[in-house]
Amino acid sequence: MAGGAEQQQAHRAGVLKQKNKHHKHGKHRTKGEIERENKGRVSVKTLSKKQKKEQRKQDRRHKASQLRRNKKDTVLTEKRQLGSKDGPPHLVAVITLHAGIDAQNALQLLRSAEMGSVYEGAGGGDSFGLVLPRFKQRLVFIKPNAADLHAVLDLAKVVDTLLFVLDPTEGWDSYGDYCLSCLFAQGLPSHVLVTQGISELSVKKRTEARRALCRVTESRFPEARLFSLDSAPDSALLLRHLASQKQRRLAFRSRRPYLLAQSACFEPGPGPLGTLRVSGYVRGRALDVNRLVHIVGHGDFQMSQIDAPRDPLPMAARGTRGGDMDMQEGDDEVRMLMRADPSRQESLQTEAELDPMEGEQTWPSESELKEAEEALKQRKVARKVPKGTSDYQASWIMEREGESEGEEEEGESSDEEEEGDDRMEEQEDFMEEIDSQDGDVSEGEEEEEEEDVEECETLTESGRDDHYDEKIDVQEEREMVERYRQARSDQMFPDEVDTPLDISARVRFQRYRGLKSFRTSPWDPKENLPRDYSRIFQFQNFERTRKRVFTEAEEEGQEGAMVGWYVTVHIKEVPPSVMEHFQRGRPLVLISLLPHEQRMSVVHMLVRRHPGNTEPIKSKEELVFQCGFRRFRASPIFSQHTSGDKHKLERFLRPNTPIVVSVYAPITFPTAGVLVFKQRANGMQDLVATGSLLKVDPDRVIVKRIVLSGHPFKILRKTAVVRYMFFNREDVLWFKPVELRTKWGRRGHIKEALGTHGHMKCVFDNQLPSQDTILMHLYKRVYPHWTFDPHVPEPASWVKNEAVVNPEEIEME
Residues contacting 716, CB < 8 A, separation 6+:
none
pLDDT of residue 128: 85
Pairing verdict, β 137-142 and 323-324: unpaired
CA distance 279 to 261: 6
Residue 114 is given by DSSP the state T
Residue 185 Cα distances to 182, 447, 687, angstroms: 5, 42, 11
Q: What is the mean pLDDT of residues 19-27?
A: 77
Residue 691 Cα distances to 12, 625, 635, 769, angstroms: 87, 11, 17, 44
pLDDT of residue 559: 76
Residue 81 Cα distances to 76, 134, 248, 283, 555, angstroms: 8, 16, 15, 11, 20
Residues contacting 543, CB < 8 A, separation 6+:
695
Stated as kind and residue range, the H or E segment containing 704 is strand 701-716
CA distance 238 to 227: 7
Answer yes or no: are the C-beta atoms of 119 and 313 closer than 8 Å.
yes
For 159-181, give the DSSP string: -SEEEEEEBTTTB--HHHHHHHH
Q: Which of 8-12, 693-697, 708-712 has the lowest mean pLDDT?
A: 8-12
Burial of 710 (0-12, 13-18, 19+ CB in 10 A): buried
Answer yes or no: are the C-beta atoms of 592 and 291 closer than 8 Å.
yes
The Cβ of residue 654 has, within 10 Å, a number of other Cβ atoms equal to 18
pLDDT of residue 622: 92
The answer, yes or no, to whether residue 414 has pLDDT greater than 80, is no
For 797-809, give the DSSP string: PSEETTEE--HHH
Residues in the chain: 813
* Radius of gyration over every alpha carbon of the chain, rounded to an integer in angstroms: 37
Q: Which of 384-388, 552-556, 634-638 has the lowest mean pLDDT?
A: 384-388
Query: Angle, to 10 degrees, between the axis of helix 149-156 and the axis of helix 174-186?
Result: 40
The answer, yes or no, to whether residue 169 has pLDDT greater than 60, is yes
pLDDT of residue 397: 58
Measured over the CA atoms of residue 681, residue 685, residue 688 and residue 692, the dihedral's sign is: positive
pTM for the model stands at 0.73
Answer yes or no: are the C-beta atoms of 737 and 712 closer than 8 Å.
no
CA distance 642 to 646: 8
Answer yes or no: are the C-beta atoms of 497 and 422 closer than 8 Å.
yes
Residues contacting 372, CB < 8 A, separation 6+:
364
For residues 451 and 18, which has the higher predicted lDDT (pLDDT)?
Answer: 18
Query: Angle, to 10 degrees, between the axis of helix 474-492 and the axis of helix 415-428?
Result: 80
Over residues 176-235, the pLDDT tens digits come to 888 999 999 888 899 999 988 887 777 778 888 888 888 888 888 888 888 888 888 888
Stated as kind and residue range, the H or E segment containing 634 is strand 630-634
Three-state SS for 11-29 is CCCCCCCCCCCCCCCCCCC
